[in-house]
A and B are shown apart, each in its own frame.
Chain A
Amino acid sequence: MEWLAERLAQAPGLENMLYFLAITLPLLSIILGFVTYAILAERKVIGYIQLRYGPNRVGGRFGLLQTVADVLKLLIKEDTRPKLADKPLYILAPIIAFVPSFAILVAIPITETLTFANMGVGLLYVIAVSGLSTIGMVTAGWASNNKYALMGGMRAVAQMISYEVPLIMSAVGVVLFAGSLNLTVIVEQQQFVPYILLQPIGFIVFFIAATAELNRTPFDLPEAESELIAGYHVEYSGFRWAMFMLSEYVYLFAMSALITVLFLGGWNPIIGLGFIPDVVWFALKFSIVVFVFMWIRATLPRLRADQLMEFGWKVLLPVAMFNIFFSAVLKELFF
């Protein structure tokens, strides 16, 4: 992508702006397409696991147009706002929640050539910026002026900051082995052995913490339907609500891509199968991760709030710490 770097160095103008639009719009549409079909796939997978059919009316036997119909419904729905809501924050919150989710995709390398920003601190950038969404959630909870929304918002904050710590700590092992925070370099280092084999403990901790960061079952306390109605977005409707849903699924995309890059070797093929293009390898590994996320969601019950905190601080964090220590010893002795 050298022509992109050249573009960036040029004086700004209308032509350059159109260029950047032309680069980012395809990504946005790919993401929207992914979200559309990830929602359908999730409902289908959960349906089959729970011995139901899932959506099967709109768009043929497999309900292929179900999400499209849902989005259309959301678009023409009335945009309600509680009378005593904090108006500017109520409007701002979905935007604060969505923008970081899209912004982190820039750092994730899909293949060697299909990279948007080859950042030296890629991993840190992804984790740091994704933390900003929490502010959007708590803002939504506060601005709605509703006790359930506020409780959901507070739970979201407590959960996100508790699980961000083991998330980062478990990725440190990968950074130690790769010797870099640059995601492209991390993938290149896994040319022969993916880090899931060298870092099994790190992988498990990272996966659990990622599930918690994504607010998915068994860690979906911030939006527990049966306790808090729907948590921080209970007062939202129409397209503002869709923004929250969208950011959630974009995070699913980003987190699965990050796991693929950190632990599964990104675009690297299994040795001997190099004739299959890089993009296909990435998509394959990525789809497996997404499927496992759905699988977990369909089969596990929700944790209690106190169990959640205890598990995060007393189990995951010590395990992640031990993993760092162990990886350092391993690296010193064998690599």
Chain B
Amino acid sequence: MSGEVIVFLLLSSTAILGGILMLNLKKVIHMLLAVVLTFLSLAGLYVMLSAEFVAAVQILIYSGAVTIVMIFGIMLTKHQAKEEKNKNPLRTTLVGLGIVVFFVTIYLAIRNLYFGQEATALHVNNTEQIGIKIFSYYVIPFELVSIVLLVALMGAVVLAKGEEGDEK
């Protein structure tokens, strides 16, 4: 067993563990830390795929910014740890069935998937390659994304302002 396999198993199991913990923990802030765990393990997986730029951005945006925004959201709202007992046997069975069907579908779909030749030069000047690709072949989609984000920002400002006006 090579080191790569061990690292992969570790990272993927931590990612799954984070997800499971997030679903099962009771307090919101605990869930948030579980999500951070998942995000970090995903960043580790990106590093294994030679996508160091994506990994760094994953940590910067998801583990850093998004989580902090969620923390703010939680602190500004009510955060009582409530346990909702929902033991409907029919529902549990249906959900279980759905999971099994989903698993079988995905398993059959990816079992014979072939990705072609393994890329060998991805790690060479990774960031530079991304930059050249974006700014020589995908400039318009890139600019469109930035416009969408700008619109979202304006929308958020307008919404926040509107609520303030209602209170008055």
Contact = CB atoms under 8 A, between A and B. Distances in A.
A11 interface: yes
* Contact-size category for A: 20 to 34
B60 A121 contact: no
A96 B34 CA distance: 13
Interface in B62-80: 63-65, 67-68, 71-72, 75
Given A124-B53, A124-B57, A157-B72, A89 B127 contact: no
A154 B56 CA distance: 25
B33 A131 contact: no
B57 A131 contact: no
Interface string B1-27: 111001000000000000000000001
- Interface secondary structure of B, over-half rule: helix
Contact of B29 (A89, A131, A154, A160): A89
B45 interface: no
B63 A131 contact: yes
A36 interface: no
Interface string A61-78: 000000000000000000
Nearest to A132: B63
Contacts of A119: 52
Contacts of A131: 59-60, 63-65
B68 to A, nearest CB: 5
- Interface secondary structure of A, over-half rule: helix
B133 interface: no
A138 B63 contact: no
Contacts of A272: none
Contacts of B146: none
Interface in A160-174: 160-161, 164
B27 A138 contact: no
B64 A125 contact: no
A181 interface: yes
Contacts of B128: 180
A154 B75 contact: yes
B116 to A, nearest CB: 25
Given A11-B2, A89-B29, A135 B127 contact: no
Nearest to B65: A161
Nearest to A129: B59
A128 interface: yes
B60 A128 contact: yes
A135 B60 contact: no
A274 interface: no
B92 interface: no
Contacts of A128: 56-57, 59-60, 63-64
A150 to B, nearest CB: 8
Nearest to B39: A132
A120 interface: yes
A56 to B, nearest CB: 42
Given A11-B3, A135-B67, A154-B75, A124 B56 contact: yes
A164 B36 CA distance: 19
A184 interface: no
A88 B68 CA distance: 20
A120 B125 contact: yes
A236 interface: no
Contacts of B53: 120-121, 124
Interface of A: 8, 10-12, 86, 88-89, 92, 96, 119-121, 124-125, 127-129, 131-132, 134-135, 138-139, 142, 150, 154, 157, 160-161, 164, 180-181
25 contacts: A12-B2, A12-B6, A86-B27, A89-B29, A96-B33, A120-B52, A120-B53, A121-B127, A124-B53, A124-B56, A124-B57, A124-B60, A128-B60, A128-B63, A128-B64, A131-B64, A132-B64, A139-B33, A142-B75, A150-B75, A157-B72, A160-B68, A161-B65, A161-B68, A180-B128
